[in-house]
Amino acid sequence: MKKNLITVIILALCVVNLVLNIMLVFVCMPSAKKTNNLITEIASVLNLELESNAGQNTVALEHIATFDLEKQVVNLKDDGSGKNHFVQVGITLELDNSTEDYTQLSTVLTNSSGAVFDTCRDVIQGYTMAEISDQKTQEKVKKQILENLQKKYQTRCIYNVSFSSFTTQ
């Protein structure tokens, strides 16, 4: 008699467990699917960002050459405070020495470093101290300098611009 009663209790618990599992599937699965879809979308967006950045400025390590411009002081745009602000900036141009116009361009850059810095100065002077102190603005400035230099020298040999020093006052 006791065995039959225990068997009935175990059977009832199995049925209750089955009902709870079915409820769990129908209650939790839709939200789990939504969460999974959200995670998949975020991962695909991040993957797109990584792929779009991966295609930019990729030059083999053995083909990288640099051209350094010495530190110079540049006046910044007036911000209305009545004070003059300056930035002391050193600029490094990264060149791809595997391009066909590299030797000609490196000679031109060496002989006209003042003109190169003047192109950089024109871009930097368009910003106030508050603007130029922002990291995103500095990246924008680098991009503008790169575009201006590529346009001026009609080359893609210059593929990146970086600041070797950057001090504002």
Q: Quick: pLDDT tens for 32-86.
A: 888 888 888 887 777 665 555 544 557 777 778 888 888 888 888 888 888 888 8
What residue has token string 């050193």?
90
Residue 81 and residue 139 in one domain: yes
Residue 5 and residue 78 in one domain: no
pTM metric for this prediction: 0.63
CB-based contact 102:96 (threshold 8 Å): yes
User: What tokens does 130 get?
Assistant: 């508050």
**Given this model, what pLDDT does residue 104 score?**
86
Residue 111 and residue 127 in one domain: yes
Compute and round to an integer the Cα radius of gyration of the chain. Answer: 31
* Whether pLDDT at 3 is above 80: no
* Range(s) of the domain holding residue 42: 1-56
Most confident of 13-27, 46-60, 92-106, 119-133: 13-27
Residue 132 and residue 51 in one domain: no
Residue 139 and residue 67 in one domain: yes
Q: In what order do the strands lie in the sheet with 64-75?
A: 64-75, 86-96, 158-168
CATH number, position 160: 3.30.479.30
> How many residues can be counted in the chain?
169
Residue 150 and residue 105 in one domain: yes
pLDDT digits (tens, 9 = 90+) for 126-154: 888 888 888 888 889 999 999 998 898 88
Residue 41 and residue 82 in one domain: no
Residue 46 and residue 121 in one domain: no
Mean pLDDT value of segment 152-158:
86
Domain count of the chain?
2
